[in-house]
Structure 1
Amino acid sequence: MLLAKHAANRDRRRYPDPDRLDITRDAQVQLGFGHGAHHCLGSPLARMDIQTALTALLTRFPELQLAVPEAELIWKSGMAVRGPVALPIAW
């Protein structure tokens, strides 16, 4: 038996449109950093890191956008990681 805890965040009954990146989604109701006594101690630092990185990226490149229609992205899907094979961007 394999527990795929990352799949818990893709339950459509609990998370509307789980496959869409939504940076405004309530981050407190996801399980990526664990739960309870096993909650990751580094989660506040990770959240601060991504906020700082995205702010710097979008400040430097305010016109950043996909260079192809979203429907043309090819996705890789594995047991631990899901993401685009390539992410063509333009600015």
Structure 2
Amino acid sequence: HIPANQLVLAWTASANRDPAQFPDPDRFDIEREPNRHLAFGHGIHFCVGAPLARLEARIALPMMLEQLRNLQRVEGFPITVHMGIVFVIRSLPITFQPQ
């Protein structure tokens, strides 16, 4: 029961962890198939920038990994995150050796 005048927030990110859609939803699996995630929304509310974001990731990540050898997270420093409407990584200390 939800009381009258109660604020309700639909958290679409929760749908990305639905065990009915994603076997072992807490496991990170970049090659998961099928991958019916809602990171870019759905239907009429689908993000028009999704193709650009995917293209940027497909181009930028390999280039970054090629240029930054020995890319590692700095141990002993926490990954700082903010969980509001959007999940944001505020800091992720890394070390690397430039190419």
| Whole-Å separation in 2 of the counterparts to 1:27 and 1:75 | 30
Percent identical across equivalent pairs? 34
**Larger strand share, 1 or 2:** 2
What do the CA deviations read for 1:7-40 (whole angstroms, capped 9, x no partner)? 22133443334474x4333484100111123322
User: Does residue 78 of the first structure (1) align with residue 87 of the second (2)?
Assistant: no
- Structure 2: 5+ residue stretches without partners: 1-7
Q: What count of residue pairs does the alignment treat as equivalent?
A: 88
Tell me the CA shift for residue 57 of structure 1: 0.9
Q: Which one of 52, 55, 58 corresponds to residue 48 of structure 1?
A: 55
Larger Cα-atom Rg: 2
Amino acid at match of 1:11: D
With normalisation by structure 1, the TM-score equals 0.68
Q: Which one of 61, 69, 73 corresponds to residue 66 of structure 1?
A: 73
With normalisation by structure 2, the TM-score equals 0.64
The two structures, once aligned, show a CA RMSD in angstroms of: 2.8
**Greater length-normalized contact order (CA 8 Å, ≥ 6 residues apart):** 1
